[in-house]
Amino acid sequence: MKKQMLIYVGIICVGLTFLAIGSKPVVSQTTTSDDPHYEYMDNETCGSCHEEKLHDYQSSMMGKTPNDKVFQQFYAAVNAKGEADGIGFRAFKPKGESDCASCHTPDVVLDAGHELALEDAIKKGSNGISCDYCHTIKDVKVIYNPKTQRYDTRLWKMVTRARGEVKRGPLKDAKSPFHQTKFSPIHTKSEFCAACHNNQEHLLSLDTYDSWKKAFDKGVVKQTCQQCHMPTGGKDRPIAIGGPVRPGSMIHRHFFHGGHNADMVKKAAVMKAKAFSDEHGLTVHVDVTNSGTGHTFPGAATLRNVIVVIDAMDANGKPLKHIGGKKELLPPLAGIGKSARDFGGDVGAMFARPFATKKGKAPTGGFNADHILFDTRIRPQETAHRVFHFSKPDSGHAVARVRLIYRWAFKPLVDKKGWKMDDIVIADQKLEL
Ligand code: HEC
Ligand code: HEC
Ligand code: HEC
Ligand code: HEC
Ligand code: HEC
């Protein structure tokens, strides 16, 4: 608080100087420049007044990183028990810096101005992606070369900070007893999120911003990232203790829900299934429409996947013979074990973008991938149409059950790692003929 007071006094003095010399009081240096000695405050400090924001943010994946176990274990190439398993970044590059720290611990990477080893970033006391990190960002520049069709996603090239007492956000008239405030247009734009939700490696391994931008420019998507991931609404209330009551329509929840949240995932897509029967057999038609995201479905992280599973049987529950050929079967990435959730080889379809190494190892991360095994993700407002063929039941009617399931990681990887993952069932439809 002492430092705070000093700065307030400093600002008042600068203000008085302006008045004294009769010029317009422009924003003083202290409020706009970046203070390299500034120490980020922790989320709890901000949360002592911004309780709702802290509560929301603590439940998000961004609020957890770099302590998110899945991230750490995929980075360190260890399983849930902490045993080395050769799957992940450190198996590929055992020592030295990497880009992983950039987006997962941006504060200390920007201090360094170059890539760091995650271990070092954590040792340097990174606060992860903190309230104070985001709210002292001054600008984000998206750097894209249309000739090479490549982005430059190095964080220190994209982000300009203004570390200090001024908290930047979407309000034009905010007054806080604890910090200064400044209206910041970049906080209301998708480009703000682009700093980390695009990752140009050999491949564009995260392409959420790119995919959103293409759809937005075409008018297919009308909302920004914030409008879907930081929803407004609820009753009128103050934004902070000591602040005025504001309309709910101005207040942004800090959930950042994504692939780990069932309610969010269920908003993403709708499925329509129909079955027909003729002398050749039973045909099941499935349409999956990406009706609710602003980017591909599933999203960017190369481990995410969506699967359609078809079970067709006769009136007695006896499975109907599948006659549609291999392309109507799910790949091993849908699960290779013996459990009821292992769908590899079953009738269905997968929507995903798994990365693979030269030797065909999949799934892998962007760090050692050299090709994309396939990209069947569904673009915004587009519909994927799939048809499946079965023989007719010997007698009686046929029943087809069609499920649409979302997984935040490929099941064989989840099994090897010993991670906990529930299937999110987006739709489960029964068709009788
Ligand atoms: C350009 C920024 C950026 C870089 C660089 C980056 N990540 Fe990430 N990482 C993200 C974002 C954003 C997500 C969430 C993506 C999504 O859900 O679409 C994520 C998600 C993940 C996840 C999934 C976590 C979960 O719980 O589902 C893992 C694992 C991961 N990253 C590992 C790594 C590793 C290992 C590296 C370095 C080789 C790395 N990341 C480099 C931005 C980055
Ligand atoms: C002592 C209470 C208090 C603390 C602690 C506090 N704030 Fe605030 N903050 C406020 C009040 C009050 C407002 C104004 C609310 C309004 O006008 O509706 C505000 C406004 C803001 C705004 C809006 C700025 C704008 O122009 O859009 C941001 C962003 C913000 N705070 C971030 C933070 C961050 C980050 C921290 C921690 C480093 C923090 N606050 C700590 C009380 C506090
Ligand atoms: C400093 C980098 C950074 C910025 C800026 C950033 N993100 Fe993220 N985001 C991440 C990382 C890293 C993760 C993954 C964390 C993990 O799982 O360990 C993530 C995760 C997410 C997730 C959850 C993904 C999932 O599948 O659960 C959502 C949604 C999200 N971010 C949305 C946004 C939005 C919207 C913005 C802009 C307002 C934004 N992010 C800005 C780095 C960032
Ligand atoms: C990943 C970056 C990010 C993080 C982390 C983050 N915010 Fe925000 N915050 C934003 C953005 C972006 C907006 C503006 C959204 C818009 O206007 O579209 C915002 C808006 C706000 C506002 C203005 C009021 C409102 O509801 O719009 C306050 C206050 C605020 N955040 C406080 C916090 C606090 C406190 C934390 C930590 C608990 C936090 N933020 C964490 C990006 C972030
Ligand atoms: C029209 C609403 C909408 C817009 C706009 C939108 N999203 Fe999403 N997003 C969703 C929904 C719904 C999901 C859940 C489905 C999913 O996880 O694939 C999602 C999922 C995500 C995930 C997790 C994806 C995964 O499967 O790995 C991330 C990260 C994310 N969004 C970031 C962003 C960013 C960054 C932007 C802006 C560039 C953005 N979103 C724009 C609706 C939206």
> What residue's CA is closest to ligand 5, atom 39?
225
DSSP reduced 3-state for 53: helix
Q: Please give all residues whose beta carbon lies within 6 A of any atom in ligand 3, as ranges.
A: 61-62, 65, 68, 71, 103-104, 106, 129, 192-193, 195-197, 225-226, 229, 256-260
Q: Is the peptide bond before 244 cis (omega within 30 degrees of 0)?
A: no
- What pLDDT is recorded for position 76? 97
Q: Is the CB of 295 under 6 A from ligand 5?
A: yes
- What pLDDT is recorded for position 6? 39
269-432 in CATH: which number?
Answer: 2.60.40.10
Q: Please give all residues whose beta carbon lies within 6 A of any atom in ligand 1, as ranges.
A: 61, 68, 70-71, 74-75, 89, 98-100, 102-104, 153, 196-197, 199, 206, 208, 258-259, 299-301, 365, 367, 408
DSSP reduced 3-state for 265: helix
> What residue's CA is closest to ligand 2, atom 30?
167
3-state secondary structure 163-219: CCCEEEECCCCCCCCCCEEEECHHHHCHHHHHCCCCEECCCEEECHHHHHHHHHHCC
385 Cα–ligand 1 center, Å: 30
- What pLDDT is recorded for position 31? 52
- What pLDDT is recorded for position 112? 96
* 315-334 CB burial, b ≥16 within 10 A, e <16: eeeeebebebeeebbbbebb
The pLDDT tens digits along the chain (433 residues) read 334 433 443 343 333 333 333 333 334 444 569 999 999 999 999 999 999 999 999 999 999 999 999 999 999 999 999 999 999 999 999 999 999 999 999 999 999 999 999 999 999 999 999 999 999 999 999 999 999 999 999 999 999 999 999 999 999 999 999 999 999 999 999 999 999 999 999 899 999 999 999 999 999 999 999 999 999 999 999 999 999 999 999 999 999 999 999 999 999 999 999 999 988 899 999 999 999 999 999 998 899 999 999 999 999 999 999 999 999 999 999 999 999 999 999 999 999 999 999 888 899 998 989 999 999 999 999 999 999 999 999 888 999 999 999 999 999 999 999 999 999 999 999 999 8
Q: How far is CA 139 from the centre of its chain?
A: 21
- CA distance linking residue 335 with residue 402, whole number of Å: 18
Q: What is the phi/psi pair of residue 348, to 5°? A: 165, -165
Mutating to test ligand 3, I would choose from 62, 105, 227 the residue with most ligand atoms within 8 A of its C-beta, which is: 62
- CA distance linking residue 276 with residue 284, whole number of Å: 7
Return the ligand number nearest the Cα of 51.
4
First to last CA, the chain: 72
The token duo for 129 is 């992606």
> What residue's CA is closest to ligand 2, atom 9?
176
- What pLDDT is recorded for position 394? 85
